[in-house]
Structure 1
Amino acid sequence: MRTSGTVLGSEESFRECSVYQWHRLDLRPNLDELYGSFHRDCIRRRIRHAERQSLRYEEGRSESLVRSFYALIVQTRSRQYLPPQPFEWFHNLVAHMGENVCLRVAFTQDRPVAGILTMNYGKTVYYKYGGSDAEFHHLGATPMLFWRTIQAAKASGRELLDFGRSDSENRGLIRFKERWGAQSVRLTLWRSPIHEGSPALERLKTRLAKAVCASVPFKMLVFAGRLMYRHVA
């Protein structure tokens, strides 16, 4: 069970299993106020830098855009020593959720360099997936894509951007979200019965899995993702 508080802390039948940081950005201020709240060097300067590059921006749900986005997901997951989600996952997500899903991808010439997938529900836009080509990180494409997302969210009357959860040990990802002015709450995963598994054992399993994936050929990681994703998602 996941909660954003410690309501189960006094329950003897539950044990704290994992802790995350959950970041959300209030979109109700106007665009100038939002932009001014971003970190000057790590966000605003990189947005301006990206806008000076010869980047091509596309958004939508076309088959070609899904394939470009998926290529970036595969690269990113490979850098993290993790099997990527199968292509069919994203294809079906777009097909069944329609206008509630948006892909945003930046290209240099015809090469995709960064992409994000967001979903809309009510007054909230949810950031769900992102990928990038490490060779082009210096272009600042990812901050530009988030800024485009915020602008579109404001135009459509959304009031909240949900950046999702981050493992408490992933300080780099947490800092990235904080630099957008996003506020965080503690998100706790509780487990019952308490004797099943342990946080230390789960962390060991993750490290071992990454060590194995680091030695697996690229194509085998993609195959593993197609085979395993429905069981571990």
Structure 2
Amino acid sequence: MTVLTVVAADPVTDPRWRRLAAGPGASLFTSPPWINAVCRSYGFTPEARIALDPAGEPVGGFAWVTVQDVRGRRLSSLPFSDRADPLVADPPVWTALLDAAKTGDDQLTLRCLDDSAALADPRLRAVGAAAWHGTPLDGGVDELHRRISGTSRRNIAAAGRAGVRVDVREDLDAVRTFHGLHVGLRKHKYRLLAQPREFFENIWHEFHAGGRCLTLLASLDGEVIAGAMFLEWDDVIYYKFGASVPEHLRARPNDAVYWTGIQRGVERGMRLVDWGLSDLDQPGLVGFKRKWASDERRIVTLRSGTWLQAPEQEEFGRELGELTRLLTDPSVPDEVTARAGALLYRYFC
């Protein structure tokens, strides 16, 4: 049996982690720029363990942050990420990594695709699941247009007839415009706070070089009515955020945005569009993504240990929920709601 050495590492700066983060099983959410954007925005310190073979070559890795707040101390891999699959295919390597990473009784939560080596670990239990969708870009634009659902093709045509225009932008101002849409959608449709603008700006700073951060803005009669942020890592283009103005959905701007994202992926030589995580209790979103994706899998949430909240921690959770409802009331200006998200969102991980 191969003898492994497990070493501590910074997943943002360690070149061995970067090699793993561009290899099999890796994703945007285990990439150094993504981890750095999350940690800079929320004040986390990233940690990782890397397994080395006898020649000193990295053969596996696992990254997380320690969250310490009024809810208690816990480990998260990784907060505010769709998933953060351990970068390992061999269960014994995963066992060695978790042995080195987890100390004491700290609860660990991680999200991974349903083929991860972590799922077979008896120390972890599944506590949730979500849908994942992907569109392989293994054909030209015309072929991909034929593959998407007939409803999507009709909606793309309808958006064109309505005069919807989609601009592909790489500048920071476009990110800020999109964030305004994002705040409005989460507030008025879901009564939720949005992640701070600083997080979106940090993502842009990490990914804009080489055109890897794209903001698609759909306009009608000069008004921005929908948008999305796409990020590139390795050879995959990721749909990360999307938002639209409900009053203009009849013009089908979201379909125009999705189709533009697929076209951009083809132009850039990507192999896949990753449409990300969709909660199973949002069947409308799952159904919308199914119109575009030919691949569907599950993202599984795993947890170790038992996390017993003290009464004051439970009270904090209730008060945070009530505060969210107050700050997303329609009478509250959107700017105030956005500022509240910047102050409070870190407590939602």
TM-score normalised by length of structure 2:
0.59
Unaligned 5+ segments in structure 2 are 1-109, 310-315
- In structure 1, the partner of 2:324 is 213
Instruction: In structure 2, give the amino acid aligned to 1:221.
Output: T
Deviation, 1:17, is 1.3
- In structure 1, the partner of 2:220 is 108
- In structure 2, the partner of 1:202 is none
Q: Deviations over 1:146-171 (max 9, x none)?
A: 11111111111111000001112221
**Equivalent pair of 2:132/2:276 in contact (CA under 8 Å):** yes
Distance 2:247 2:180 in 1: 14
**Equivalent pair of 2:148/2:293 in contact (CA under 8 Å):** yes
- In structure 2, the partner of 1:81 is 191
The CA RMSD over aligned residues, in Å, is: 2.5
Instruction: In structure 2, give the amino acid aligned to 1:13.
Output: R
Q: What secondary structure does 2:269 align onto? A: coil
Q: Which of the residues 152, 173, 196 maps onto 2:307?
A: 196
Deviation, 1:67, is 2.8
- In structure 1, the partner of 2:259 is 147
Q: Deviations over 1:102-159 (max 9, x none)?
A: 0010112332100000001121000000110001011111111111111111111111
Instruction: In structure 1, give the amino acid aligned to 2:207.
Output: M
Deviation, 1:9, is 5.5
Distance 1:54 1:23 in 2: 29
**Equivalent pair of 1:37/1:181 in contact (CA under 8 Å):** no
- In structure 1, the partner of 2:202 is 92
Matches within 5 A, 1:1-233: 1-5=110-114, 11-41=121-151, 43-78=152-187, 79-98=189-208, 99-193=211-305, 195-196=306-307, 213-216=324-327, 217=329, 218-219=332-333, 220-232=336-348
CA separation of 1:95/1:214 partners in 2, compared to 1, >3 Å: closer, same or farther? same
Higher relative contact order, structure no. (Cα contacts within 8 Å, ≥ 6 residues apart): 1
Which is richer in helix?
A: 1
- State how many pairs are aligned: 225
Distance 2:215 2:168 in 1: 5
Q: Deviations over 1:17-51 (max 9, x none)?
A: 1111111111112222211121212x111100111
**Equivalent pair of 1:113/1:133 in contact (CA under 8 Å):** yes
Greater Cα shift, 54-63 or 94-103: 54-63
Instruction: In structure 2, give the amino acid aligned to 1:33.
Output: E
Percentage identity across paired residues of the two chains: 26
Instruction: In structure 2, give the amino acid aligned to 1:39.
Output: S
Distance 1:221 1:164 in 2: 26
Distance 1:132 1:110 in 2: 15
TM-score normalised by length of structure 1:
0.86
Q: Deviations over 1:149-202 (max 9, x none)?
A: 111111111110000011122211111111113311121111001x2269xxxx
Greater Cα shift, 171-180 or 59-68: 59-68
Q: What secondary structure does 2:259 align onto? A: helix
Distance 2:257 2:317 in 1: 30
Q: Which has the greater radius of gyration?
A: 2
Distance 2:203 2:180 in 1: 16
CA separation of 1:135/1:207 partners in 2, compared to 1, >3 Å: closer, same or farther? farther
